[in-house]
Amino acid sequence: MQTRNFIRCAAVALSALGAVPASAGTSDGGIPEFWTCSGSCGASGADGVVPLAPGGGSAYGWISTWGSTAQAALPGVGTGGADVNGTILRSVSFDAAAGAQLDFRFNFVSTDGDGYADYAWARLLDQDNNQVAMLFTARTTEAGNAIPGFGLPATQATLTPFPVPIMDGETKWAPLGPDSDECYDVGCGATGWVRAQYAIASNGTYRLEFGVTNWDDQDFDSGLALDAITVGGAPLPIPEPGQYAMLLAGLAVLGVMRPVRGAGRGRCRIGRRT
């Protein structure tokens, strides 16, 4: 408990000293270290129909069905028939207090259409990878809205805008490989950047999962861009305790940092030596 309190205080101190970046450039250095990718993942600057994310950094992360031989499907949804491919990306574990706001941006792009309903999603998982919340779903559709995805679990995050139609034919995006700027009939396109916000209900250890899958065949790829991920206002990836220890050593020359006794959890005092 004492270690965790000092980690919380470190976050406060580092933010005050400018060590925590103001923008949430989750993937400025590529997919963050220790995140796990099953399939095809990467990072990119503004490209084609996907500009930089509002509130993000100089690059965004992406996952795609192109170049992936991995299997990816939402539990209980399945794939609809033939063997398909997809990608699942999971973040490092992070601690969050009850009421902490999870906030991120995403953009779904699909070259498929006319009955081939590729889809993407994000979930909040607990430390054992059990689902805590279905944050959003997006799906290729011939008519109507791409978000929420039809025939998929209900969305639990607050999405802005909502609902979201597809921008017809907007598919020029390098992570889609040879299918970039292609379109299989009605329904292909991009959603544009959408903001997702979710209040975490209980204290705990969590991770984020992002996924995208082809539906019913492996032709005409789809992908998902993501960025600007914060929890309680702090950008992910949250530094591990060992990283905080190294950063805290540097605070010795600036002042004293300690939890405030009797002031409740999460309260910290930062002051100079006298």
Domain residue spans of the chain: 1-22+239-274, 25-235
Eight-class DSSP state of 162: -
pLDDT at 142: 85
The encoded tokens of residue 40 equal: 């095809």
Residue 270 has pLDDT above 90, yes or no: no
Rounded percentage of the chain residues whose pLDDT exceeds 90:
66
**pLDDT digit string (tens) for 20-52?**
444 689 999 999 999 999 999 999 999 999 999
Give pLDDT tens digits for 126-159.
999 999 999 999 999 888 899 999 999 999 999 9
Looking at every residue in the chain, the average pLDDT score rounds to: 83
Handedness of CA 64, 142, 52, 48 (dihedral sign): positive
What is the residue whose two structure tokens read 């689902």?
131
* Lowest mean pLDDT, pick from 50-64, 181-195, 255-269: 255-269
Q: Give the model confidence (pLDDT) of 47-105 as tens digits.
A: 999 999 999 999 999 999 999 999 898 988 865 555 579 999 999 999 999 999 999 99
- Give me the architecture of the 25-235 domain, per CATH: Sandwich (2.60)
- CA distance readout (Å), 51 to 44, 122, 130, 254: 10, 20, 33, 40
pTM, to two decimals: 0.81
Is the pLDDT at 256 greater than 50? The verdict is: no
